[in-house]
Amino acid sequence: MRRCHNCGLSIGDTATFCATCGTPAPAPPTCRLCRGAASDLGADDLCASCRARVDLLVAATPDERPALSLAGHGPLDEAQATVANAIYSAVADEATCPECAAMDGRETNDVATAAGWTPNPRCSAPGGCRCAVFFEHDWLAAGEERAFVEFAAGHGLTPGAAAVAAFHAELLRRHEHVERRAGEAAELLAQARACEKDEPLEAVALYERAIELLLSCTEAPLDEQAVRRELPLAFNRLSLVLKNAGREVEALEAIDRAAALGVLERADCGRKADRDALRKRAVRLRERVAEPVPA
C-alpha cells in the first residue's frame, strides 16, 4: 500500500491522488527488468515474474547445470529458459539422406523451432530420420545473480538464455581486458626493478605507470584477481625506491594510498611479504617524518 508523501495516509495502488488532501499520488514502484509497475517488488527491486525468471537461470549446484541436452528430453519450458543455442546433428553416414545432410550443423536460439527439426519431415531415408537436435545451455553460477540483474537492467534485457549468454560474453571480455592490462603492468614492474639502482627516477615513473594501469582496468579494480596479484609488489617497490632516494614523504603517501585502497588488509592481495613490508615501512617513515628538522 502506498502512502501520501504530504499527509502520510494510505493511498490505493491504483489511485492517482490522495482522497484526503488531494496531493498527487507518488508514482508506483517499477521492476528493474520489465519496467512494469508492481506492488510486490522484492529487496532486489524485481517483480515476482522477473524474479521467477532469474531463479530459473540458476541451479543449486554445478551438477544440476547441464551444458548440453538432447531436444525432446525434459520440460520444454525449462529448456527455453537456459538454452543459448540449438544445433542440428545428422548421423552423416551412407544412409543419411540429402535433406538431413543439408541440415547438419544448422544452429538457432529458437527452442520451439529447433525442437520441431527432428524427426526431419523431409527425410527420404528408407529407415526414417535418425537425426538429433542438441541444446547448448548457459546458466548463471551461484553468486552471479546480482551482477546479472545489474547487467540486464542496464542493457534492457529480458531474463533468459540470450541475456545470460550476453552477460557471460561481457564477463569474458572484461576478464581478457584485465589480464591484458595486468600483463602490461607486470612488464613495467620488471623494467622498473631492473633500473632501481642505476636509474631510480625512471624506476619510480615505471612503478607509478604500472599502478595507474592496474587501477584503471575496471571501475572496481580490486575485484579482479589479476590486479590484486600485482598491486602490493608495485606499492612495495615504489615506496622503497622513494625512501632510498630521500623522498620519504612521497614514500609514505604511496603507502597510505595502498592502505586506502585496502591493499594492506586484504589477505588475497599479492604476497604477504609485500604487505608486511609496506606496514613496517609505514611505521618507520611516520616516525622519521614526524622528527623535527635540524636547524
- pLDDT tens for residues 96-135? 999 999 999 999 988 888 888 999 999 999 999 999 999 8
Mean pLDDT over the full length of the chain: 86
Can you tell me whether residue 16 is helix, strand or coil? coil
Measured distance CA(38)–CA(30) in Å, rounded: 6
Instruction: Give backbone dihedrals phi and psi of 83, rounded to 5 degrees, phi first.
Output: -75, 120
Measured distance CA(132)–CA(235) in Å, rounded: 57
Ranges 45-54, 162-171, 199-208, 213-222, most confident: 199-208
Q: What is the pLDDT of residue 12?
A: 62
Whether the CB-CB separation of 87 and 136 falls below 8 Å is answered with yes
| Percentage, residues of the chain above pLDDT 70 | 82
Classify strands 107-108 and 2-3 as parallel, antiparallel or unpaired. Answer: unpaired
Which fold, 162-290? 1.25.40
The burial class, CB within 10 Å (0-12 / 13-18 / 19+), for 156 is exposed
Whether the CB-CB separation of 106 and 60 falls below 8 Å is answered with no
Q: Is the pLDDT of residue 264 over 70?
A: yes
Cβ atoms < 10 Å from Cβ of 288: 13
For the CA atoms of 124, 126, 130, 131, the dihedral, rounded to the nearest 10 degrees, stands at -10
As given in the structure block, the three cell numbers for residue 172 are 569474458
Q: Is the pLDDT of residue 34 over 70?
A: yes
Confidence of residue 295 (pLDDT cuts 50, 70, 90): very low
The residue written with cell numbers 625512471 in the block is: 202
The beta-carbon contacts of 48-51 under 8 Å, at least 24 apart in sequence, are 50/159
The residue written with cell numbers 540429402 in the block is: 98
Q: What pTM did the predictor assign? A: 0.65
Task: Report, as an integer, the average pLDDT of 70-75.
Answer: 61
